[in-house]
Amino acid sequence: MSRIKSALSKNLKQFVMLITLVVIIIFFQVLTRGILLRPMNVFNLINQNAYVVLLAVGMLVCILTGGNIDLSVGSVVAFVSACAGTFMITWKWDPYLSVFLCLLIGILIGIWHGFWIAYVRIPSFIVTLSGQLVFRGLTLIVLQGLTIAPFPARFTQLTTGAIGNFLGGLFPNVPLRNVTSLIIGLVIALVVVVMEVKRRQDRKRKGYSFDSLVTTLVRAGVISAAIIYFFYILANHTGAPVVLITVGIVLIMYSYLTSKTVLGRHLYAVGGNEKAARLSGVKTDKIKFLAYVNMSFLAAVAGLVFAARLNSSSPQAGLGFELDAIGACFIGGASAYGGIGTVGGTLIGALIMGVLNNGMSIMGVSIDVQQVVKGLVLLIAVAFDVISKQKINLGFLGRMFTFRKTA
């Protein structure tokens, strides 16, 4: 019991956000009379929010380096989308060559931003605000203010549609439209259980603090059950979306990078105390440079995913995307001061944003009210982060609120 309490106290914000996500899902499931978790809506929810997850993971890496954010990602998404449309629709270039060139453009944009931020030491807010204006303008120039469509099928099939039921023939008596999706969910759930147990064994072997076996199995069981139910819902529709493969690969890669590699430890070190990290031999300028290169690369991936889903390139693409990405990071547990945050927490934050958007849209809530709700949720999440690091003393009869930082 003491270990359970310790684990809860160490991961308070992530547990609170996970519970919040469940409560929000139940809330909208009731108010929408079951529409929220219908297979078709869950399928659309994934497709509609894939770009948020991709951008949020990149934004998390930037935030880890010291609370820095990238305001240009929405414009980068639009510019890459415009380039993709020009290459494939206007100039009739090969889709695979065009995808490669678009990703290269994203990397070059990241190099541009990273150089000014890391080596010239211009504040990231100014550099990325400049990028927001520059690449939005370039998008309008490239598209000449027009929307172009449609993309060739060879491109759209990379990120749209559902994973085929190629294993369905092995289970002809199972009453599901896509048995393959359920099998994928079962495999992922099994992997989660194995990884949780292995993680506990590794921590025990290295002499670190570790949870009891019961706690580990309960946590893994809850996560696995949620995964299986999620894929069961999709199996009752056309199956898991193809874009889920791209999102899954990004989540796995960056979860491993931030938690298991030297580069990941350096990211947290720079955000925790940049001066101390530099004195310890960490190349802080290089870390910041790579963070912004990575951000623009993932923005390029998100731009391609978004363009494929809409099957068009529009001058209005990407508007407000940076706000969704930033909100997902902070709601998911990233610290506004840097050095704290996880890929898993960011995913939870992105899901909260996505469910809020989808649920309110189903209920017919106007866009302006949706903006108010999302803004308040973001403020509450960041306030929770700040207050949790401070001791609040409430005075009475003439005394003001005083705040004292705890150790």
Instruction: Count CB atoms within 10 A of the CB of residue 374.
Output: 20
> What is the predicted pLDDT for the residue at 220?
85
> What is the predicted pLDDT for the residue at 114?
95
What DSSP string runs through 231-297?
A: HHHHHTTT-SBTHHHHHHHHHHHHHHHHHHSHHHHHHHHHHH-HHHHHHTT--HHHHHHHHHHHHHH
What DSSP string runs through 308-334?
A: HHHTSB-TTTTTTHHHHHHHHHHHTT-
Cβ-based neighbours of 263, under 8 Å, separated by 6 or more: 257, 287, 290
> What is the predicted pLDDT for the residue at 22?
86
Minimal CA–CA distance to 296: which of 146, 143, 87, 83?
83
- What's the pTM value of the predicted model, to 2 decimals? 0.88
> What is the predicted pLDDT for the residue at 394?
41
Instruction: Count CB atoms within 10 A of the CB of residue 247.
Output: 23
In a structure prediction context, what are the per-residue pLDDT tens digits for the chain, which is 407 residues long?
555 555 555 555 556 777 888 889 999 999 999 999 999 999 999 998 999 999 999 999 999 998 789 999 999 999 999 999 999 999 999 999 999 999 999 999 999 999 999 999 999 999 999 999 999 999 999 999 899 999 999 899 888 888 888 877 777 777 788 888 999 999 999 998 998 888 888 888 878 777 778 878 888 888 899 889 999 999 988 889 999 999 999 999 999 999 889 999 999 999 989 899 999 999 999 999 999 999 999 999 999 999 999 999 999 999 989 988 998 998 888 888 888 888 988 998 999 989 999 999 999 888 888 889 888 888 887 777 677 666 444 443 344 444 444 44
Minimal CA–CA distance to 46: which of 163, 195, 189?
163
Which DSSP helix (H) or strand (E) runs through 405?
strand 402-405
51 contacts 317 by C-beta, under 8 angstroms: no
Determine the residue type at 392.
I
Cα gap 350→327, rounded to integer Å: 8
